[in-house]
């Protein structure tokens, strides 16, 4: 889970590390999270949008062969 903790910190949402850990959210399911899921986890509207935008950026990076399929190591 450390990898997702570092990623959350890098996008300015480190305050959600414990929430993600408590709900077993790792990179393997990150892309399937919906706005509703994030709302249920207690994220504010603004932070839900920030997180969804960051997830979309990860998807774009994973589509490029020059980038890893997941966040930083």
Domain of 50, CATH number, reads 1.10.150.50
Give, in degrees to the nearest 5, the angle at Cα 61 between 55 and 66.
Answer: 160
In a domain, 71, yes or no: no
Return the pLDDT at 44.
97
Structural domains counted in the chain: 1
The Cα 28–Cα 26 span in angstroms is 5
In a domain, 68, yes or no: no
In a domain, 70, yes or no: no
Return the pLDDT at 73.
45
In a domain, 12, yes or no: yes
Return the pLDDT at 2.
87
Q: What is the pLDDT along the chain (73 residues), one digit of tens a residue?
A: 689 999 999 999 999 999 999 999 999 999 999 999 999 999 999 999 999 999 999 988 888 765 455 555 4
Task: Determine how many CB atoms are found less than 10 A away from the CB of residue 54.
Answer: 17
In a domain, 69, yes or no: no
- The parent domain of residue 41 ranges over 2-63
C-alpha torsion sign, points 51, 53, 58, 63: positive
Q: Cβ distance 31 to 61 under 8 Å?
A: no
Return the pLDDT at 71.
55
């Amino acid at each position: 889970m450390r990898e997702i903790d570092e990623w959350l910190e890098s996008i300015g949402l480190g305050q959600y590390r414990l929430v993600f850990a408590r709900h077993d959210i790792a990179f393997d399911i990150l892309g399937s999270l919906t706005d509703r899921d994030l709302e249920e986890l207690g994220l504010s509207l603004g932070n839900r949008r920030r997180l969804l935008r960051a997830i979309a950026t990860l998807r774009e990076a994973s589509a490029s062969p020059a980038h890893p399929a997941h966040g930083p190591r």
